[in-house]
Amino acid sequence: MHHHDRARFLACHDCGVLHPVAGRPVQLADDLDAETMDEYDTFVTAHAGHHTTRLRRHGFESRSDRPFWDPLATVMFEATDGQRTYVVSASRLSIDEPRLYRFMPGTLQVTASEVDVETADICRGLDMEFHPYALRPTKLDRFLAVLHEVVSHIDPDELEVAFDAADDPAVSIAPMPEPMYRELLARCAEIFDPWELTRVNHFLDENRAEDGLLALRVRRHLTALTA
């Protein structure tokens, strides 16, 4: 859950806008809370007499056109009233303005996922592992070809995502699954000489976790399907 995801909203069906529901804190901790309350009260007053309902956040998927920490990011997610599902978009034109939340009936759909590895980082890491020796370029190429082939057989839906990439909200990081890791080890035995294999296996073992160089980058494509 990201900091901008408030879970409950008051939605105005006449205007197609909604607003996070602000609870009344017993004591206003700071000006921000007072400001949030004012914005909410203004919204309630503005839409009094309109057709309004309560919506709540639905599912964990969200889509952003910029990193989530960017205050000007436009974020989309699903909300529901218990009967229908809606796509909500939250955006602001400037940092000085509050976010505007709009909604329409529909769903967010994951259309495709690609799984990849950071090839350049892996090459640099192997380089360091072999220093002061060097791997022959042909062997490095064979290793990378095998790595990409192993990764291409991975089903993104079966990966255990560890965290989202800080630089790109559509990318999640996952450790390489055990069967794939074992296949990679077996294939490496066919490529490298025994002295090389010791180093390659050490490198693979050190980097197999979600924070290692073999971490998988899973890119999701989310599309808003409006009803």
> What is the rounded distance in angstroms from the CA atom of residue 179 to the CA atom of residue 26?
54
* pTM score, whole prediction: 0.64
Name residue 56's beta-bridge partners.
8, 80
Running DSSP on this structure, what letter comes out for residue 64?
E
What pLDDT does residue 37 have? Answer: 83
What pLDDT does residue 80 have? Answer: 95
User: 136 vs 139, 141, 147, 192, CA distance in Å?
Assistant: 5, 9, 17, 10
Determine the 3-state secondary structure of 19 from DSSP.
strand
Angle at 100 between CA 221 and CA 70, to 5 degrees: 55
What pLDDT does residue 2 have? Answer: 40
Crossing angle of helices 137-152 and 178-191, in 10° steps, is 150
User: Which parts of the chain register pLDDT below 50?
Assistant: 1-5
> What is the rounded distance in angstroms from the CA atom of residue 174 to the CA atom of residue 90?
28
> What is the rounded distance in angstroms from the CA atom of residue 143 to the CA atom of residue 127?
13
What pLDDT does residue 1 have? Answer: 36
CA dihedral 94→221→165→19, nearest 10 degrees, is 40
> What is the rounded distance in angstroms from the CA atom of residue 33 to the CA atom of residue 206?
46
What pLDDT does residue 220 have? Answer: 85
Name residue 176's beta-bridge partners.
none
Strands annotated E in 35-162: 52-64, 75-80, 85-91, 100-116
Crossing angle of helices 178-191 and 194-206, in 10° steps, is 160
